[in-house]
Amino acid sequence: MTIPIALTIAGSDSSGGAGIQADLKTFAALGVYGASVITALTAQNTRGVTGIHPVPADFVTAQIDAVFGDLDIKAVKIGMVAEVAVIEAIVSALARWSPAHVVLDPVMVATSGDRLLAADAVEALRHKLIPRAQLITPNLPEAAALLDEPIAESESDIARQGQRLLALGCAGVLIKGGHGQGAESIDYLVTRDGVKPLAAPRIATTNTHGTGCSLSSAVAAGLAKGDNMDTAVRSAKAYITAAIAAADRLDVGHGHGPIHHFHRFD
């Protein structure tokens, strides 16, 4: 049996709800084999992050080369990159291996509010890693931080910020609307063809740990299976919406609990 393979390059979440663990769960739930490269270890749970231990850049390189040297990687998802040296190692590896699809989730702050990206690494993220991505998936605060702008409050502001992010060199930008207000959670897919709003009901739950990680890995899973970007994004949005809707069926931790990655199998 041939199975599509996707690779996640991200940080480890010791509580299992976000990061590498969420990515691998998402890949598995969507019928994709997941490989992983760990960029940082975190001590965290549903209440917050209590410690970050970056993986040395040369060992990040060793992991990437080991995986690409053996497995037929169809898509790559990149999450927490932590430091400038790690970003540079990933950029060099992407140039060396030239994967067909790269989805970058510019993880800067955890759901709990804890910072996950060193301040001096933001510039490297902007100008070295984003140009290597087919799609980037910032939330509203991340899009604003990448552009040194206030958080967008209108659809026109979101579209303008999306166009500015496109100008950094990626092919598409999915600005996630989960931090917004209103009855609907609207994500905006911005490409050179225009802006497409993707709406879903806003779900009243505090169990949203790992939502962003899982959305970007769901997009990567779709691309690994051969979907085009529009189809992969729409399918990922539907999967995440259902996973959030089912999150309260789980009882994990005492803070922001995880979404339900395997809701289809209940």
Angle at alpha carbon of residue 205, lines to 76 and 107, rounded to 5°: 30
- Per-chain mean pLDDT for the chain: 92
With 90 as the cut, is the pLDDT of residue 185 above it? no
**What integer pLDDT is reported at residue 18 of this predicted model?**
95
Q: Locate the DSSP E strands across the chain.
A: 5-13, 33-45, 48-54, 73-78, 102-104, 135-136, 172-175, 184-191, 194-201
**In the chain, where the domains are located:** 5-265
Q: Which overall architecture, per CATH, does domain 5-265 show?
A: 3-Layer(aba) Sandwich (3.40)
Q: CA 48 → CA 26, 107, 123, 244, distances in Å?
A: 22, 15, 26, 19
Predicted pLDDT of residue 107: 83
Query: What pLDDT digit, counting tens, does each position of 74-124 carry?
Result: 999 999 998 899 999 999 999 999 999 999 999 876 655 566 677 788 889
Instruction: Give phi and psi for 45, each to the nearest 5.
Output: -145, -165
Residues that are catalytic: 176, 208, 210-213
Residue 134: φ, ψ to 5°: -75, -40
Tell me what pLDDT residue 254 has: 93
The pLDDT assigned to 13 comes to 96
Stretch 258-266: mean pLDDT: 92
User: Residue 65: which H helix or E strand, with range?
Assistant: helix 57-68
Q: Dump pLDDT digits (tens) for 189-246.
A: 999 999 999 988 888 888 989 999 999 999 999 999 999 999 999 999 999 999 999 9
pLDDT exceeds cutoff 90 at 249: yes
pTM: 0.95
Structure confidence by residue, pLDDT tens digits, 113-164: 566 677 788 889 999 999 999 999 999 989 998 998 999 988 999 999 999 9
State residue 180's pLDDT score.
58
pLDDT at 192: 93
Other C-beta atoms closer than 10 Å to the C-beta of 164 total: 15
Average pLDDT of 19-37? 98
Q: 181 is written with which tokens?
A: 């207000």
- Three-state DSSP at 103 gives strand
